[in-house]
A and B are shown apart, each in its own frame.
Chain A
Amino acid sequence: MRIKAAFSYQLKNYFKSFGWVYLWSVAVVVILPFLISLLLGRINIYDISNYLPQLLPAMILSFYLFVFGGISYDGFKLFIQNGIGRKTYFFSKLYALTIILVVGEVINVLYGIFYHRFINAKKNPVMTFSVLYGHYFNSAAANAVSVFIITILFIACIMVTGMVIGSCLGLFSRRMQRAIIVGAPIVLFVLLAVLVMLNDQTSLKMTWIGDFLLFIVGMGNQSNTGHFVAFAPMLSGAIYFIVMLLISYRLTLHFRVPR
């Protein structure tokens, strides 16, 4: 297997693009408003906490992994031209993105601590999911670790969703892809409308779907926020991740060029 060469190539490129996405996001979200208020002469009322959302790096990371997880076919094209098959392409990409995910999440946590201490101490905990699961265990360390895992799994699920969408689109020609990108949201919207209409008659909360959703997030009957069952999202997240990963893998094996 040429996995080592493929992996190091992918990782290098991902880090490069990840850095660029970070830089641009910071430029757009932080520096641009700063410059505008400078131009308008209102620098005295510029407050960084108005512009620097606590979730910024988490959003960048999720967005990045969704998009770059979704870019599948172009990578495959390049790899098959360079004598590397679909399997190695898939796994090298998965491993490289996973590294980005972990590194990105560590940055998020550090940023969270920084934000908590220097920018806005009153609002928000270090990790967002603490609000839901931060007090499930008795030890603070166990809680921190479990919330960290849940966060990583959550972003991994976003990533793998991007991968499935990307590998699905990769099977179709450019023209077909455009049709799907335009058509799929419309179909989804119609489906949702139908669901809402049905919901008028029988409340969604009463059905098994509602129960199921509550079970997934780990909201038991008697648990308060912060005390949701931490194992529930871990389990459901892991299952979702694995199933979607398998789907994406199977789809990737069907890539061909020319399509």
Chain B
Amino acid sequence: MQFDFNSTEPLYLQVAEQIEEAIFTNSFEEGTQVPSTTEISKQFHINPATVLKGMNILVTHHFLEKRRGLGMFVAAGAHAKIREKRQAEFYDDYVINLVKEAKKLTLPETTILEMIKRGFKNG
């Protein structure tokens, strides 16, 4: 996990993203406990309230679940849910910017489509 304190993104969103990423890459497996607020807070010198706020975002998305008296656990099916969410956000996160940049560079649509095809072939 890594946090960029100079980043322009609010810290609690960074916390949420980092944990989400860890779940998505199976660093935190489904059904296992994730590090506690205190642990993350201590490790990265982030205010516990900020960490909690980030974690609560993941709880509302049902990626994490609270177990009373025990802590936070990766919810069953979290991995699939994260993929779904990221698929849904793909257009907003990547395509819009791609097109914006292409227009700035006066690259026509056909060229971009060719590039994407090439990317799939090589990747």
Q: Do chains A and B touch in the complex (CB under 8 A)?
A: no
